[in-house]
Chains A and B, each alone.
Chain A
């Protein structure tokens, strides 16, 4: 079984702070990490490797520094890593990104393509389903777990608002996975040693099967017209009082708002 996991390097958005005076985003010093849902997807693939000896390839699009997450994936147990990097890829929205990844996937063998549900920098959850459409494959999003039924079929559990669904899916297919679906393994010591000996394949736009007009900024239907932070509201009434006094202040407010009589 060949599994390809699409992963992304993202800034750890939980570490981002706003400048308290200017209200602007402070990007400096924010660490870059493997996107959490993608790590959940990689773990799912590695579990299939443990069970059935699947061959796991990780694929990312990004600048050279994104090699860091590919090394991390090697150290967790991935067999092959590909970095898609080219100036022509820059400025891509989700549609252009999905065309780029699909272009690379067309030159690879796969039974399963796994992506994270969404990346924490954009939270769009779009690239996985868009890849599935370009490759004319069935998709299941919000996957919690997976069972290989043998032959050309898997059974997946998909999370929905008020419970879950069990779906039988023909492979090859595209799955988008939740980070909460499993506990991603740590890099092993041997894995870390080997990670730096393994070779990352670097692919540019000549290596993928897609028209150049679908790539990067030119291939992106959407544009950011402007971006802004929400700014700061005037400070609230702040009370540093005893618990009993605090209780009275709150109750008065609740009365004023007709929450209590």
Chain B
């Protein structure tokens, strides 16, 4: 492998049901920034079936070139056909960097591809940067968010990384941007693909809303205690048009569903206002919400670690304060 032959930043543009996922747009925004620092190009890798009409969108969000593979084998995500398509594009074009979203798809595809290409992969990054020497620095939390580690991949290419959704900012959609669309056709190895068949894809009740999209989050922890306590939080959320989220403790206790969990093993959020109610502030929770613009914490324990990162701290009982707050806001 000749390292200098590898250049440009490639982004796997994840689509589900033909809809480009937000994380892909966030990655295009970040890739643009990194590519400008390296004086290289941003290339989008768009895989799917009947998705060619989405290629232009990738250009609007920062891509210079879009490699588009439109094939029935790629209609719904499966590891093997997607891995074959990406590896073909990598082997033909030699990217320096390859970015994927740290979604269930990206975290399934990334390691498979990295093993096939025999290169390094850094999972769930929260920061990406180019050093003065031109090294690609990938920073990620480890030990449940207790430690941050900056990883490099010196001798292998492409340098691969998955990035958590919601961490990077997507760029502005610029319909004046120009780029090139390259349609790639692929001969799939069906003997490998045929080992897995999708029987059914079941969407579960959308009672939930995506907490990463919320402007205001009312989040509860152990101090809220139970279903009854969360009722108070829901009433508050309703009055100020907020969503309800929670710490891991309440998900483990079965009070809240996993998709509402904020933290290292849950979601990363950055709302305008984050209410941390009865949340002590374990590091794995802080890892998922510390980028919130304004944090209001209420906790009985004035030594709770949450107060170290909160902007406004109230020492008190959530169950007393929250109903009063809701009542007064209604007036």
Query: Using a CB–CB distance below 8 Å, which chain A residues touch chain B?
Result: 11, 13-14, 16-18, 25, 93-95, 98, 120-130, 132-134, 136, 138-142, 155, 159-170, 173, 180, 220-230, 232-233, 235-241, 243-244, 246-247, 249-251, 253-254, 257, 259-260
Contact of B152 among A165, A225, A238, A251 (CB under 8 A): A225
Contacts of B307 in A (CB 8 A): 235-236, 238
Most buried by A among B115, B204, B298, B307: B115
The A/B interface has a contact count, at CB < 8 Å, of 241
Q: A13-B143, A170-B195, A246-B298 are in contact. Are A129 and B153 (CB under 8 A)?
A: no
B122 & A222 in contact (Cβ 8 Å cutoff): yes
Query: Given A13-B143, A169-B196, does the pair A236, B114 have CB atoms closer than 8 Å?
Result: no
User: Which residues from chain A contact B121 at a C-beta distance below 8 Å?
Assistant: 94-95, 126, 222
Q: Are B150 and A227 in contact (CB under 8 A)?
A: yes
B275 to chain A, nearest CB (A): 9
Asked if A221 meets B155 with Cβ closer than 8 Å, knowing A11-B143, A16-B146, A246-B314, the reply is: yes
B331 to chain A, nearest CB (A): 10
Judged by DSSP, the binding face of B is mixed
User: Shortest distance in angstroms between A32's beta carbon and chain B's nearest beta carbon?
Assistant: 13
Closest 8 CB pairs of A and B: A13-B144, A221-B120, A133-B115, A222-B120, A126-B111, A129-B111, A221-B156, A124-B123
- Partner among A17, A159, A228 whose Cβ is within 8 Å of the Cβ of B148: A228
A170 proximity list for chain B (CB < 8 A): 194-196
Q: Which residues of A contact B124 (CB under 8 A)?
A: 123-124
Q: Is the CB of B196 within 8 A of A140?
A: yes
In the complex, what distance in Å separates the CA atom of A127 from the CA atom of B110? Answer: 11
Give the docked Cα–Cα distance between A237 and B315 (Å): 11
Residue of A138, A243, A254, A260 contacting most chain B CB atoms (<10 Å): A243
A155 with B324: in contact, given A133-B116, A160-B104, A253-B296 (CB under 8 Å)? Answer: no
Are the C-beta atoms of B308 and A235 separated by less than 8 Å?
yes
In the complex, the answer to whether B123 meets A126 with C-beta atoms within 8 Å is yes
B37 to chain A: which residues have CB within 8 Å?
none
Closest Cβ of chain B to A57, distance in Å, is 22
Known: A138-B80, A165-B201. Contact between A249 and B110, CB under 8 A?
no
Assuming the contacts A129-B111, A236-B310, A250-B314, asked whether A25 and B147 have C-beta atoms less than 8 A apart, the reply is yes
In the complex, are the beta carbons of A163 and B325 less than 8 A apart?
no
In whole angstroms, how far apart are the Cα atoms of A236 and B296 in the complex?
10
Q: Is the CB of A232 within 8 A of B308?
A: yes
Residues of B contacting A93 with CB < 8 Å? 120
Chain A residues with CB under 8 A of B196: 138, 140, 167-170
Among A159, A169, A237, the residue within 8 A (CB) of B313 is A237
B204 to chain A: closest residue by CB:
A163
A230 and B151 in contact, given A141-B108, A259-B273 (Cβ under 8 angstroms) = no
Most buried by A among B112, B135, B307: B112
Enumerate chain A residues within 8 angstroms of B79, measured Cβ to Cβ: 129, 138-139
Cβ-defined contact, A16 with B321, below 8 A:
no
Given contacts A166-B198, A233-B309, whether A243 and B120 have CB atoms under 8 Å apart is: no
Q: Which residues of B contact A126 (CB under 8 A)?
A: 110-111, 114, 121, 123
Chain B min CB distance to A164 (Å)? 5
Report the minimal beta-carbon distance from B8 to chain A, rounded to whole angstroms: 19
Decide: A142 near B104, CB < 8 A? Known: A126-B121, A164-B204, A237-B312: yes
